[in-house]
Amino acid sequence: MASFVPTSEETLEDLRHYTEDRLVDVACLDCLARVRVKKNSDHQTSVQWSAEARSACQEFVRRDQRPGGRDVHKPCTRLMASIDDAVRAGDVPVGAYDGY
């Protein structure tokens, strides 16, 4: 059942641009997690996880066993380092196309 319904086909195309375009696969150097990454600039990073990657990340598995609170939502430092490596190796293009 749809909730917020767009009235134009172009809106669906925008949704695809902003959420799916130019995502590049990056594998974690420490575990089996594979995520999709986009960088619009040196300081901007998007990381799209899947349920499979989320459960492969050992850092998150450890954190999920601790009681909830404000610190459980931070990024995995090992994956962040892996992304930095991939960017340095030129595997993740840096730059935006008209805002996305």
Partner 1 sequence: MTDTRMLDQGTTPIRFARGWHCLGLASDFADGKPHAIHGFGTKLVVWQGANGELNVLDGYCRHMGGDLTQGEVKGDHIGCPFHDWRWGGDGKCKEIPYARRVPLRARTQRYETVVRNGQLLIWNDPEGSAADHDILPPELPDVMSDKYTPWSWHTKEINGSHCRELIDNVADMAHFYYVHFAFPTSFRNIFDGHTATQFMESKGRPDTMGGGYGDENSTLKSVATYYGPSYMINWLEVDYKGFVTEVILINCHIPTGPDSFLLQYGITVKKPEGLDEKTCAYIAERYTESFGDGFLQDVAIWENKVAVQNPLLCEEDGPVYQLRRWYEQFYVDVADIAPEMTDRFEFEVDTTKANEYWHAEVAENLAKRAAAEAAAPADA
DSSP 68-80: PSTTTTSPPHHHH
DSSP H or E run through 24: strand 24-27
Q: Angle at CA 91, nearest 5°, toward 43 and 82?
A: 65
Q: Does residue 44 bind partner 1 (CB under 8 A)?
A: yes
- Pick one of 43, 65, 66, 90: the residue that binds partner 1 (CB under 8 A): 43
Give whichever of 23 and 30 is closer to partner 1, judged by the CB atom. 23
Place of tokens 């293009």: 93
Could you tell me how many residues of this chain bind partner 1 (CB under 8 A)?
37
Q: Does residue 77 bind partner 1 (CB under 8 A)?
A: no
Residues that bind partner 1 (CB under 8 A): 1-8, 10-11, 14-15, 18-19, 40-51, 54, 67-70, 73-75, 96, 99-100
